[in-house]
């Protein structure tokens, strides 16, 4: 091989090695993250393909540093627009009868720096204010 190909190969190797080191540092920082949420804090999960669905969760117990027990709470409709879509807000303390089970979750650092947890394979819930307002597609819109 020519010297040019050798230099190109070495640059590629160094680039991959640097990327691996960066990844290791990010993983180490994730492990050092200490969740600060407490009982009563609210989390919001926004999901959907051709519609927007909003689910709220409230922390009801903090058994360990990185884990929490959450329960799904109801959302209340703040306003409805002419298309039948909603602006919703969490109803703290009003637990969902439709989803009565407590869920054990691992708290982690979210994409925007706040705390979050994995709800399922396609969505995460992020910390939110109990007065936060979110857009949700109406029940007859979307699908």
pLDDT higher than 70, residue 142: no
Q: Which residue did the predictor score with more confidence, 38 or 111? A: 38
CB atoms within 10 A of CB 125: 25
CB atoms within 10 A of CB 93: 13
Q: Is 58 exposed, middle or buried (0-12, 13-18, 19+ CB in 10 A)?
A: buried
Looking up tokens 């969740």 gives 35
Q: Is 116 exposed, middle or buried (0-12, 13-18, 19+ CB in 10 A)?
A: buried
pLDDT band at residue 50 using 50, 70 and 90 as cut-offs? confident
pLDDT of the residue at 42: 96
pLDDT in tens, 61-104: 999 999 999 999 999 989 988 777 889 999 999 998 888 899 99
């Amino acid at each position: 091989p020519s010297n040019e190909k050798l230099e190109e190969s070495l640059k590629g190797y160094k680039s991959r090695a640097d990327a691996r080191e960066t990844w290791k540092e990010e993983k180490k920082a994730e492990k050092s993250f200490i969740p600060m949420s407490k009982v009563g804090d609210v989390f919001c999960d926004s999901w959907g393909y051709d519609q927007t669905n909003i689910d709220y969760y409230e922390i009801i117990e903090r058994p360990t540093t990185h884990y929490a027990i959450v329960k799904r709470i109801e959302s209340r409709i703040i306003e409805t627009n002419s298309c039948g879509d909603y602006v919703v807000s969490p109803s703290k303390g009003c637990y969902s009868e439709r989803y009565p089970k407590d869920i054990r979750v691992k708290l982690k650092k979210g994409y925007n720096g706040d705390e979050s947890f994995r709800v399922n394979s396609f969505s995460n819930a992020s910390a939110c204010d109990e007065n936060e307002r979110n857009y949700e597609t109406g029940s007859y819109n979307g699908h």
